[in-house]
């Protein structure tokens, strides 16, 4: 047994077999030319058949949609045109087999992308087949989340949104990553699934082969073993008692709302008792798309997510592309420092049509779903940007416009920003990374991205005071809102709505109902003036005991 300590980001204990998420293989080299081109070309078909057979085998044991997806991918691996093109690239152009498969598959992918519509949606599948066949030729593990055939703990360097889009939550016991911070996608996903997770478990990937693992998402400890360990899932929703009315013990209202990215999230949020949606991350509807979905497609996708909230308030965030969420159809080129580059609303200054089409689709989805829609923009830096966005929202016939405060400049000018819009919502995940100049995906910097950092709390206090002065709502939709103790502190700093993954809703709602507002104001004052994050947490805990 070896013990690793990381940062616990999603509560609970679980144990079981390990499934490693393999990292992307480098692009195969075009040299050296094979000594025997005919023999090299003959390696391609058996490799593709081995890939297809494994996929067909798995298709035989699963049902429904998963079966169809596996069978389609297997058939693509055996596509005669793809295989003969790759073979010709070996024999005619003297390419090594992995490179030939890479080029042939990319040629197919380009053709599908140009065909558009349904065919363009297959580009991801072609890339998947390409990577599997190349890995087979190289004797390597294909990149991405492995195909799980039993409940397992996923072990990864880090998880990107696209890696996790097709995860089967019934088969994932817990998540452990070597990198990542408390606000990384791994943390967000784990909380959404209600499973334990530990990030920044430094050194775990280099450790001797890990067979079984015990994960404690509260303490951040990960025990690894070279032997199998008992499979045990975390208990979910441990008996939290909440009456569903968001607010403090003395009746000060604080809405308890949910972060959602899909129709399934929305249903879970309703079941958990969320009073509405505080953040609908619309980019998750675009992630697999190779071209911009048309207005009708977007409208239907948004309406599906919003319908469970008929008659209730929902905040739809416009596309937050760029940085760690690149979208292939936006073709934004490479930037030396994408987190500080053209991301979020900045993408739309150059392409206002993308925003206008999205707003049209959101307005349509409001009618179709009956939800009470507000719209907000990500990554806003100035009051002028906020005003530009609000004008476009109103021109689209949507009633309420807001912006996220994720950039320190917007926090420091919160009065002016709020003056331009109807509400703001603090994205503490990005605000922390920009305040501390600490990449939110970096395991080494996880401590700086701790939402209890007093510098972050002081900025939230500034925004809360601005909201009070202007009589406009201030929400928090970053991961900070899902910590039941911190939720009270945020309310004490003047925050009027807390938005979080569905799994956290009952615990935050009931914790907030435990004390009157004045107690939270006192806890907030203590935490904000503490010398560091650990002391801030202790001070709030001691005050509220």
Residues involved in catalysis: 185, 477
8 Å CB contact between 451 and 432: yes
What does 450 interact with, of Mg ion, ligand PEP, none (CB < 5 to 8 A by kind)?
A: none
Residues 4-33 that bind ligand PEP (CB under 6 A): none
> Does 32 sit behind a cis peptide bond, omega within 30 degrees of 0 on the bond before it?
yes
Interface pick for Mg ion out of 220, 293, 427, 464 (rule CB under 5 A)? 427
Contact mark string toward ligand PEP, 490..519, x via CB under 6 A: ------------------------------
Phi, psi torsion values for 260, nearest 5 degrees: -135, 155
- Asked if 479 touches Mg ion (CB under 5 A), the answer is no
> Which of 96, 451 has the CB closer to ligand PEP?
451
CB of 319 to ligand PEP, least distance (A): 11
Task: Specify the residue for token string 């129709």.
Answer: 263
- Edge-first strand order for the sheet with 172-177 is 2-5, 221-225, 212-216, 13-20, 152-156, 172-177, 197-199, 7-10
- Asked if 281 touches ligand PEP (CB under 6 A), the answer is yes
Residue 189: CB atoms within 10 A of its CB come to: 24
Interface pick for ligand PEP out of 478, 484, 488, 492 (rule CB under 6 A)? 478
- Asked if 292 touches ligand PEP (CB under 6 A), the answer is no
Contact mark string toward Mg ion, 384..413, x via CB under 5 A: ----------------------x-------
What does 494 interact with, of Mg ion, ligand PEP, none (CB < 5 to 8 A by kind)?
A: none
8 Å CB contact between 523 and 543: yes
Contact mark string toward ligand PEP, 314..333, x via CB under 6 A: ------x-------------
- Asked if 429 touches ligand PEP (CB under 6 A), the answer is yes
CB crowding 321-347: b at 16 or more within 10 Å, else e: bbbbbbbbebebeeeeebbeebbbbbb
The 8-class DSSP code of residue 42 comes to H
Q: Which residues, at least 6 apart from 462, have a Cβ–Cβ distance to it below 8 Å?
A: 411, 412, 414
The 8-class DSSP code of residue 285 comes to G
> Which of 265, 430 has the CB closer to Mg ion?
430
Interface pick for ligand PEP out of 428, 453, 496, 497 (rule CB under 6 A)? 428
- Quick one: tokens of 460? 């939230």
CA distance 78 to 85: 12
> Which of 196, 261 has the CB closer to Mg ion?
261
> Which of 248, 429 has the CB closer to ligand PEP?
429
Residue 77: CB atoms within 10 A of its CB come to: 27
CB of 175 to ligand PEP, least distance (A): 16
> Which of 6, 427 has the CB closer to Mg ion?
427
Dihedral (Cα; 383, 184, 161, 236), 10-degree rounding:
-120
Closest to 159 measured CA to CA, from 139, 138, 174: 174
Interface pick for ligand PEP out of 40, 163, 430, 483 (rule CB under 6 A)? 430
CA distance 510 to 247: 9
CA angle 254, 257, 262 (to 5 degrees): 170
CB of 323 to ligand PEP, least distance (A): 8
CB of 477 to ligand PEP, least distance (A): 5
Beta bridge partners of 281: 317
Contact mark string toward Mg ion, 429..468, x via CB under 5 A: -x--------------------------------------
8 Å CB contact between 75 and 52: yes
The 8-class DSSP code of residue 220 comes to T
> Which of 427, 509 has the CB closer to Mg ion?
427
Number of residues that make up the chain: 545
SS3 assignment, position 507: helix
Residue 449: CB atoms within 10 A of its CB come to: 31
> Which of 130, 281 has the CB closer to ligand PEP?
281
Interface pick for ligand PEP out of 128, 178, 406, 439 (rule CB under 6 A)? 406
CB of 429 to Mg ion, least distance (A): 5
What does 10 interact with, of Mg ion, ligand PEP, none (CB < 5 to 8 A by kind)?
A: none
> Which of 40, 163 has the CB closer to ligand PEP?
163
Q: Which range of residues in 61-69, 329-337, 387-395, 426-434 is near ligand PEP by CB under 6 A?
A: 426-434
What does 477 interact with, of Mg ion, ligand PEP, none (CB < 5 to 8 A by kind)?
A: ligand PEP
8 Å CB contact between 525 and 492: yes
Using CB under 6 A, list all residues that contact ligand PEP: 279, 281, 320, 406, 427-430, 477-478
């Amino acid at each position: 047994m070896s013990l690793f300590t990381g940062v616990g980001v999603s509560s609970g204990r679980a144990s079981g077999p390990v499934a490693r998420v393999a990292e992307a293989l480098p692009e195969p080299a075009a040299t050296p030319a094979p000594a025997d081109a005919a023999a090299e070309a003959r390696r391609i078909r058996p490799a593709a058949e081995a890939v297809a057979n494994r996929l067909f085998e798995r298709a035989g044991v699963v049902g429904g949609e998963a079966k169809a997806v596996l069978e389609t991918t297997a058939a693509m691996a055996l596509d005669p045109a793809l295989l003969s093109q790759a073979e010709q690239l070996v024999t005619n152009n003297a390419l090594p087999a992995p490179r030939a498969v890479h080029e042939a598959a990319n040629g197919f992918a380009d053709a599908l992308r140009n065909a558009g519509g349904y065919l363009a949606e297959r580009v991801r599948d072609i890339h998947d087949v390409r990577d599997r066949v190349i890995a087979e030729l190289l004797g390597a593990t294909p990149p991405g989340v492995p195909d799980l055939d039993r409940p397992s703990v996923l072990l990864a360097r880090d998880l990107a949104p696209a890696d996790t889009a097709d995860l089967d939550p019934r088969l994932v016991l817990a998540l452990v990553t070597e990198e990542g911070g408390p606000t990384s996608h791994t943390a967000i996903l784990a909380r959404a699934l209600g499973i334990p997770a530990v990030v920044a478990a430094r050194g775990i990937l280099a450790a001797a082969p890990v067979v079984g693992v015990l994960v404690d998402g509260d303490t951040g400890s990960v025990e690894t073993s070279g032997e199998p360990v008992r499979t045990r899932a975390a208990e979910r929703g441990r008996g939290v008692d909440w009456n569903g009315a968001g607010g403090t013990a003395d009746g000060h209202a604080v809405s308890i709302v949910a972060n959602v990215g899909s129709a399934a999230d929305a249903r879970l949020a309703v079941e958990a008792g969320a009073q509405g949606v505080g953040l609908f991350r619309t980019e998750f509807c675009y992630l697999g798309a190779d071209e911009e979905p048309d207005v009708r497609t977007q409208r239907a996708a948004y309406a599906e997510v919003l319908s469970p909230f008929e008659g209730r308030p929902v905040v739809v965030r416009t596309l937050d592309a760029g940085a760690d969420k690149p979208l292939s159809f936006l073709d934004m080129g490479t930037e030396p420092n994408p987190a500080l580059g053209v991301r979020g609303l900045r993408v739309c200054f150059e392409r206002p049509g993308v925003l206008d089409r999205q707003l049209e689709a959101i307005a349509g989805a409001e009618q179709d779903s009956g939800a009470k829609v507000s719209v907000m923009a990500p990554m806003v830096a100035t009051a002028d940007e906020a005003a530009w966005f609000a004008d476009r929202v109103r021109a689209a016939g949507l009633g309420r416009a807001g912006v996220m405060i994720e950039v320190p400049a917007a926090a420091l000018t919160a009065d002016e920003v709020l003056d331009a819009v109807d509400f703001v919502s603090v994205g503490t995940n990005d605000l922390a990374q920009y305040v501390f100049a600490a990449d939110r995906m970096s395991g080494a910097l996880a401590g700086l991205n701790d939402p209890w950092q007093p510098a972050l709390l002081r900025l939230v206090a500034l925004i809360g005071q601005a909201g009070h002065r202007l009589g406009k709502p201030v929400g928090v939709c970053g991961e900070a809102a899902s910590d039941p103790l911190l939720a009270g502190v945020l309310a004490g700093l003047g925050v009027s709505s807390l938005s979080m993954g569905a799994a956290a809703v009952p615990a935050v709602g009931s914790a907030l109902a435990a004390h009157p507002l004045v107690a939270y104001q006192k806890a907030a004052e203590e935490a904000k003036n503490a010398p560091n994050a650990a002391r801030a947490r202790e001070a709030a805990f001691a005050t509220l005991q």
